[in-house]
């Protein structure tokens, strides 16, 4: 019986490919805006001399790209994590298998590397002048302070996702998370660069060989996401309810996750009205 149930599930390979392509597109879009908005030779810098305005524009475009992918066919297929920290959080919630979580993280890192490489090839001089958009600590920010900040902001992001995706506002999870990321980038990036995502930080750092303090961005975001997931799962913050790891669960795309809560009619009832409206 177990074998029959398992064989009826859709293949996870399309989801892996979607996660890779989605992450590639998000990183390419985001880093391109960093290059064009902050390279000294960019016409946008001359057109908009105020760096704060350009920072807000970058935040909106970077986060907006991720939100668009979450709602695209790519995001609907994979779940639109686009971030190993988010995948780790859902793995701790037991909403994604270990095999899928490892495959997602691998796809995210490879996708981010391809996206960053395309930025470096296409916007060569612009890209190098801003260190390919690598996340770096701001002036006066110590490694300990930067580590704490990245833990805190990723904790906030993961907790926001969990609360949103496991309630009646599930369809708006991508938009809510995107708005939070845009706010964090526009306000916090002068301190740490607002990584939130090990793949996003690793790709540009590896391509241009900047390793100083990069350990912060590989450890702090996953730790923040893990803390959020553990506290949410225990019901210390939030309801503790968990349905699926997809940020937007489309009814027309089969879910490959074995423990998807939407497969149970009793669990789906809470969302039926909202999803019918969409």
**In this predicted model, what pLDDT tens digit does every residue of 217-259 receive, in sequence order?**
999 999 999 999 999 999 999 888 899 999 998 888 888 876 8
| 3-state secondary structure at position 20 | helix
**In this predicted model, what pLDDT tens digit does every residue of 5-29 receive, in sequence order?**
444 667 899 999 999 999 999 999 9
- pLDDT surpasses 70 at 271: no
Is 40 a domain residue? yes
Is 9 a domain residue? no
Is 71 a domain residue? yes
Is 196 a domain residue? yes
What is the CATH classification number for the domain harbouring 107? Answer: 1.20.1080.10
Is 213 a domain residue? yes
- pLDDT surpasses 50 at 268: no
Is 8 a domain residue? no
| Domain count across the chain | 1
Range of the domain at 188: 15-267
Is 273 a domain residue? no
Sorting pLDDT into bands at 50, 70 and 90, what band is 2?
very low
Is 157 a domain residue? yes
What pLDDT sits at residue 264? 57
What pLDDT sits at residue 257? 79
């Amino acid at each position: 019986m177990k074998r029959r149930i398992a064989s009826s599930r859709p293949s996870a390979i399309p989801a892996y490919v979607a996660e890779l392509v989605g992450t590639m597109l998000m990183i390419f879009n985001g880093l391109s805006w960093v290059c064009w908005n902050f390279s000294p030779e960019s016409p946008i810098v001359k057109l908009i001399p105020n760096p704060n305005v350009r920072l807000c524009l970058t935040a909106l475009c970077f986060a907006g790209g991720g939100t668009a992918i979450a709602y695209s066919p790519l995001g609907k297929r994979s779940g639109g994590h686009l971030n190993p920290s988010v995948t780790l959080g859902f793995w701790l919630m037991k909403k994604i298998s270990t095999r899928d979580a490892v495959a997602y993280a691998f796809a995210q890192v490879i996708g981010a590397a391809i996206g960053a490489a395309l930025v470096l090839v296409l916007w060569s001089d612009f890209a190098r002048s801003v260190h390919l958009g690598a996340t770096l600590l701001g002036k006066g920010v110590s490694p300990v302070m930067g580590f704490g900040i990245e833990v805190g902001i990723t904790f906030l992001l993961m907790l926001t996702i969990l609360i949103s995706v496991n309630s009646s506002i599930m369809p708006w999870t991508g938009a809510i998370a995107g708005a939070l990321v845009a706010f964090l980038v526009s306000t916090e990036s002068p301190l740490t660069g607002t990584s939130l995502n090990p793949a996003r930080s690793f790709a540009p750092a590896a391509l241009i060989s900047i390793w100083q303090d990069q350990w912060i961005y590989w450890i702090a975001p996953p730790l923040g996401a893990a803390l959020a997931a553990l506290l949410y799962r225990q019901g210390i913050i939030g309801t503790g309810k968990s349905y699926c790891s997809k940020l937007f669960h489309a009814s027309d795309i089969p879910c490959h996750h074995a423990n998807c809560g939407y497969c149970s009619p009793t669990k789906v009832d809470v969302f039926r009205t909202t999803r019918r409206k969409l």
